[in-house]
Amino acid sequence: QVQLVQSGAEVKKPGASVKVSCKASGYTFTSYGISWVRQAPGQGLEWMGWISAYNGNTNYAQKLQGRVTMTTDTSTSTAYMELRSLRSDDTAVYYCARGQEYSYYWGQGTLVTVSS
Amino acid sequence: DIQMTQSPSTLSASVGDRVTITCRASQSISSWLAWYQQKPGKAPKLLIYKASSLESGVPSRFSGSGSGTEFTLTISSLQPDDFATYYCQQYNTQGTFGQGTKVEIK
């Protein structure tokens, strides 16, 4: 069965970076892209961007351009999302999801807390 | 960027009610729209894709319609398990979510 398993919760200081992983199993990793979506506490869903697991092409949300990098490691079927220059309003649950467009399969979420 | 506006933000309803949620896009997105249900502490669950295609395993009381800039999600007879927050998402250009509609018990 398809599974996306994310790395554990992180606590970071303002200005630091965080890298969240998403390990895929149960399907051919390179056949689907991975999208990243975040949700601040009590708020709605925010699309962050997408990476093709086939060729590494990326498409980032404009507001995160320059601070976010999405990568994949096809040898381990793992996708990564790195966010730099963290601010308090980056505190959120970060989700990976399979697919470039809509997503049926989602990771369990990773809470990233940015606090001094 | 394409903006997505959902209405209402909150909806109070009773079991058995017919419920309709609206999602408007700031420009035409053809039929490239999905609907999700989310419960507290859980990842979103895909209900509808391509505006009106029901995801496998989703009860038939859920339906979607619309194209261009105006879309609706309808729950024909609200069930206890349906009290949750619903989001639309356009995937015509990148991906943008609506702000969500919380369906609560009246």
**How would DSSP label each residue in B33-89?**
EEEEEE-TTS--EEEEETTTEEPTTS-TTEEEEEETTEEEEEESS--GGG-SEEEEE
**Residue A11 confidence class, pLDDT cut points 50, 70, 90:** very high
Per-residue pLDDT tens listing for chain B (106 residues): 999 999 999 999 999 999 999 999 999 999 999 999 999 999 999 999 999 999 999 999 999 999 999 999 999 999 999 999 999 999 999 999 999 999 999 8
The residues near B23 (Cβ < 8 Å, ≥ 6 apart) are B4, B5, B6, B33, B35, B66, B70, B71, B72, B73, B88, B98
Give per-residue pLDDT as tens, A33-48: 999 999 999 999 999 9
Instruction: Sort B23 into a burial class: Cβ within 10 Å, 0-12 / 13-18 / 19+.
Output: buried
Closest by Cβ to B95, choosing from A47, A62, A106: A47
pLDDT tens figures, B81-92 = 999 999 999 999
Shortest distance between the Cα of B17 and any Cα of chain A, in A, equals 25
Q: Which residues pair with A98 in a beta bridge?
A: A34
Contact across the interface for A47 and B97, Cβ inside 8 Å: yes
What is the model's pLDDT at position A108? 98
